[in-house]
Structure 1
Amino acid sequence: MTANWIWAGVAIYAVFAFITAWLSRHDAQGTMVGYFLGDRQMGGFASALSYSATTYSAFMLIGLAGLTYRGGVGALGFELIYLCGVSMVLVFGPRFWLVGKKFGYVTPSEMLGHRYAHRGVAVAAALCSLVFLIPYAAVQLAGVGYLMSGMSDGAIGFTTGAVLATVLAIVFSLVSGLRSVAWTDSLQAIVMLITATLAVVLVVHGLGGLGGMFASLQQDHPGFLSVPGPGFFSFNTFLGLTLPWFFFCLSNPQVSQRLYTPRSMASMRQMLMGFMVFGFIYTLVAVLWGFAAVIKFPGLATGDLATPRLLSSELVPPVVGVAVMVGIMAAAVSTIDSIMLTLSSIFTRDVYAVAKPGTGDREQLLVGKIVLPVVAVLAYLFAQLKLNLIAVLSVAASAGLLVVVPAIIGAFFWRRGTAAGALASIIGGGLLVFWLQLTGTRLLGQGAGVWGLAVSVLLFVGVSLATRAPAERAREFMDHVREGLARHRAI
């Protein structure tokens, strides 16, 4: 595919997305809640599309397709387990929403600091997010770089694609915060789903239909239709990948922060149901995409090249290929700017405001806007490492965030949880994961996420039992949740 086709598609997308972002501007953007949470007034439909675009980033049509190309049908099981994990939003979504409105939380780490009556807990959770989310943002930038480079056969460089995605993410975030991101997300999610579905239909048809495609797989690549398949998915590998993904909706703050944004409980239910439908369809599309690449282009250097090669092949008309490329780029940019917003709000609310007590809302908002491009630049620098297999890197980043899960669950369901327990689990588990990831060590064959979660649970429970719980704060927090849930069930 020529570079001119690609640049034309990017230009059209950028113009429409910028207009959408600009029209989303609202008076409430002058406050922390207005800028970072959309003033807690997001509707169910927009929330569902925004949640989908934020979650299903470059990971899906590049990462999951690449994982399918590398490991076969096991990738489908891996992603379906993630969808099962999203069902935890049914339990935790209403609880996040209730306490967010009651206590005015802007970030999940702020919630933990208040619940355990210790600002150090908020700082520890914030630093954990800052360390492990930057690589995940970098993965999105790398996805765009690989996509544009692969589709143009190198005419557009990896760095050019990464720089473009960085600039777009900064612009959309700065225009009007979460409201801008949510509106552009909604546009991007629709483009993602329609174009990807159309493209996979064309590709499957070009390979002889579903029957012909699976017959070719069975004949020429039979291992891809069974587990462990061609050798990538051992039990330990599968467990190490799926465990961080199962808890993704709780551990990743750019996702859990969205639970503060719906205008009502009904809007939150609509968000979840819309996301589940979107996610199931997009999962099947991505896996079929990976299988098609196995048949059409066996022997690629990395699975992350599967999607770019298919999009530039004769199976996909140039117009459709560019549209799918724009959808993938839009998804990646959506995830990046969501991470930028979350990390800048976390730094401002849970690090800067703690270090400088008494800062007002306007000062915090100014600092948050200054931090936005800094986060983007750090992600860009990390992306230049050009590490392979986007799906694996995405999970590796989420493995470090698993260490906050025990404290989150304990906040809502265990009155005996203490600040010391939360601090020990986040700091101890986080340092262990960081060391395991840095050195590539696999203790007893298990990945960093498995050990990080296990150690965090043990530290949280053990240290909490040995220390005094903030009984009054726990009672206030948990009683409000219980009363709020009872009130909404009665309506």
Structure 2
Amino acid sequence: MNAIGIQLGIVVAYLCLALVIGLLAYRVTERTAEDFYLASRSFGTIVLLFTTFATLLSAFTFFGGPDIAYQSGPEWILVMGLMDGIIFAILWYVIGYKQWLIGNRHGYVTLGEMLGDRFGSMGLRGLVAVVSLFWLFPYVMLQQMGAGAALTGLTDGWLPYWAGAALVTVFMIVYVVLAGMRGIAWTDTLQGAFMLGITWVAALWVLDAVGGAGAATASVADSNPEFLALGSSVYTPEFMLSTAISIGFGVAMFPQVNQRFFTAGSKTVFKRTFVLWPVLVVLLFVPAFLLGTWAAGLGIDANIDAGESVLPILLNEYTPVWFAALVIAGAMAAMMSSSDSMLLSGSSYFTRDVYRPFINADISDRREDLLGRIGVVVFAAATFVASLGQPGTLVEIGELAFSGFAQLAFPVIVALYWRKTTLTGMYAGIGGSQLFYLLARFTSVVPATYFGWNASVVGMLLGLVLTVGVSAATSAAADERHSRFLYGVETE
């Protein structure tokens, strides 16, 4: 069998293994919306930790991160380590624990449902859903782009970009429609553990092939000496901090991550997972991003701006065919873990926060479950069509989505902790920050940077000021229900 046949065989076999796990989960999944979307809030420590971990192991991490390190140096480890290792761990507790307590008490499935009930507003519920679906679209598309680029790089161009993207799209549609949250979590646990191990093996294999870490670093010193000095024209303090803040807060608002705050089986499970989180992500980021850095010194030629990714090319050069294919298969499965979680959450936002309140409030659980599965197919097909145009690099699209979601964070935090937050304040905070960020990214009306800080951070601060200021100047609406949240109640 030729090399391409081996590579594609390993990739398809791995995806089929994930599909088998999904079929097993389908057999024990109840035909209710809560079980389909939240696995009946039953996750233990290991499953919750690894399903969140694998959900974030997207094309942005596996291909975008090494690509940045290849182009600009290894300081991206600090950006992502700060984002995931510190900022998101803190937000996991500040937002997630409070959200779990409230969701466990009232049975909420989505963030919009929780906020809409607290403020007595279907409009706010719909706004949160629409904003979330808007920013979710490019991030699902990013996974399909990553898969297409990965398979093209792995097969040296034999498999066209569109075919790779189509392959992963078909698999993730079938998988999500069958498996639901329970199956996704089961495969996430397998894939998260596998990718953590295989990334370290890949790094050690490449180092062995080139003569060790010293030789690899020396080659970087010869070709890109600026990579070995902290800071550069790219990695300014303002860029690193604003990027880390935008990504960290954006992760906490991603539907597929935020929804997992509702799934812990107990208080103990929730607290254990956020303590273990920083260790897990740093163990992944270090070898993945160093591979991208070493690739620059080893003379690997990857045209990142044209959609190529350096990791498949590097592995093809320095590891056996079967191993390179195994790593890419695992990375694609991890991307599928991100995509299937996004599709599942996007479906829940549509059915729970758009269809149910605005179209048919009397829909049965079984019918909502069916509608959610249909929504998965439609959303995935639309993002696939959009991905064929490759509207930007993986990093550009990922940063756009992260920053868009980050605009929701401060209004949500204020609502969770300040009793005097009003519906008008929430509309002002969410609407104002979203409008500001959209104008900054898609027009020249608003500057994109402010003394080195990106517009995302400025928009977040604007959202905080508007939420607090307008809430302080307005009265609570008649339908607001402060009792739905735990203000002044012992929550430990």
Bin of the TM-score, shorter chain as denominator length:
over 0.9
1:141-180 matched pairs, under 5 angstroms: 141-180=144-183
> Structure 1: how far apart are the matches of 2:93 and 2:27?
30
1:219-234 matched pairs, under 5 angstroms: 219-229=222-232, 231-234=233-236
Deviation at 1:61, TM superposition (A): 2.2
The residue identity in structure 2 corresponding to 1:35 is: F
1:365-397 Cα shifts (integer Å, max 9, x gaps) = 222111111111122122122244323321211
Which ranges of 4 or more aligned residues in structure 1 deviate by more than 4 Å?
none
Question: Does the residue aligned with 2:336 lie in a helix, a strand or coil?
Answer: helix
Partner of 1:436 in structure 2? 440
Partner of 2:485 in structure 1? 477
Deviation at 1:25, TM superposition (A): 2.5
> Structure 2: how far apart are the matches of 1:169 and 1:102?
32
Relative distance call for 1:351 and 1:473 in structure 2 (3 A) is same
The residue identity in structure 2 corresponding to 1:442 is: A
1:280-306 Cα shifts (integer Å, max 9, x gaps) = 111101111111211123553217521
> Structure 1: how far apart are the matches of 2:269 and 2:372?
27
Deviation at 1:450, TM superposition (A): 1.9
Normalising by structure 2, report the TM-score.
0.93
The residue identity in structure 1 corresponding to 2:485 is: F
Deviation at 1:26, TM superposition (A): 5.0
Partner of 2:394 in structure 1? 390
How many correspondences in the alignment? 482
Question: Does the residue aligned with 2:120 lie in a helix, a strand or coil?
Answer: coil
1:96-245 matched pairs, under 5 angstroms: 96-229=99-232, 231-245=233-247
Question: Does the residue aligned with 2:309 lie in a helix, a strand or coil?
Answer: helix
Partner of 1:378 in structure 2? 382
Deviation at 1:176, TM superposition (A): 2.6
State yes or no: 1:73 paired with 2:74.
yes
Deviation at 1:475, TM superposition (A): 4.0
The residue identity in structure 2 corresponding to 1:205 is: D
1:327 equivalent among 327, 330, 355:
330
Whether contact under 8 Å (1:46, 1:182) holds in the other structure is yes
> Structure 1: how far apart are the matches of 2:336 and 2:313?
21
Question: Tell me, which stretches of 5 or more residues in structure 2 are unaligned?
Answer: none
Partner of 2:26 in structure 1? 25
1:408-487 matched pairs, under 5 angstroms: 408-439=412-443, 441-444=447-450, 446-469=453-476, 473-479=481-487, 482-483=489-490, 485-486=491-492
> Structure 1: how far apart are the matches of 2:322 and 2:428?
53
Question: Does the residue aligned with 1:247 lie in a helix, a strand or coil?
Answer: helix
The residue identity in structure 1 corresponding to 2:181 is: L
> Structure 1: how far apart are the matches of 2:417 and 2:165?
42
Question: Does the residue aligned with 1:482 lie in a helix, a strand or coil?
Answer: coil
Normalising by structure 1, report the TM-score.
0.93
The residue identity in structure 1 corresponding to 2:36 is: Y
Deviation at 1:273, TM superposition (A): 3.9
Partner of 1:250 in structure 2? 252
Question: Does the residue aligned with 1:478 lie in a helix, a strand or coil?
Answer: coil
Question: Tell me, which stretches of 5 or more residues in structure 1 are unaligned?
Answer: 487-491
The residue identity in structure 2 corresponding to 1:218 is: A
> Structure 2: how far apart are the matches of 1:90 and 1:240?
21
> Structure 2: how far apart are the matches of 1:276 and 1:412?
24
Deviation at 1:253, TM superposition (A): 1.7
1:23-45 Cα shifts (integer Å, max 9, x gaps) = 12255531111000001111211
> Structure 2: how far apart are the matches of 1:329 and 1:312?
16
Partner of 1:39 in structure 2? 40
> Structure 1 stretch 79-88 or stretch 145-154: which is displaced more?
79-88
1:199-220 Cα shifts (integer Å, max 9, x gaps) = 1111122222122222222233
> Structure 2: how far apart are the matches of 1:452 and 1:301?
33
Whether contact under 8 Å (2:216, 2:298) holds in the other structure is no
Question: Does the residue aligned with 1:278 lie in a helix, a strand or coil?
Answer: helix
Partner of 2:53 in structure 1? 52
1:305-324 matched pairs, under 5 angstroms: 305-313=309-317, 315-324=318-327
> Structure 1: how far apart are the matches of 2:177 and 2:268?
29
Question: Does the residue aligned with 1:144 lie in a helix, a strand or coil?
Answer: helix
> Structure 1 stretch 147-156 or stretch 266-275: which is displaced more?
266-275
Deviation at 1:63, TM superposition (A): 1.0
2:304 equivalent among 289, 302, 323:
302
Deviation at 1:18, TM superposition (A): 1.4
Whether contact under 8 Å (2:3, 2:321) holds in the other structure is no
1:211-265 Cα shifts (integer Å, max 9, x gaps) = 2222222233111122433x33334433442221121342212101001111112
Whether contact under 8 Å (1:85, 1:245) holds in the other structure is no
Relative distance call for 1:90 and 1:454 in structure 2 (3 A) is closer
Whether contact under 8 Å (1:43, 1:262) holds in the other structure is yes
Whether contact under 8 Å (1:151, 1:309) holds in the other structure is yes
Relative distance call for 1:274 and 1:171 in structure 2 (3 A) is farther
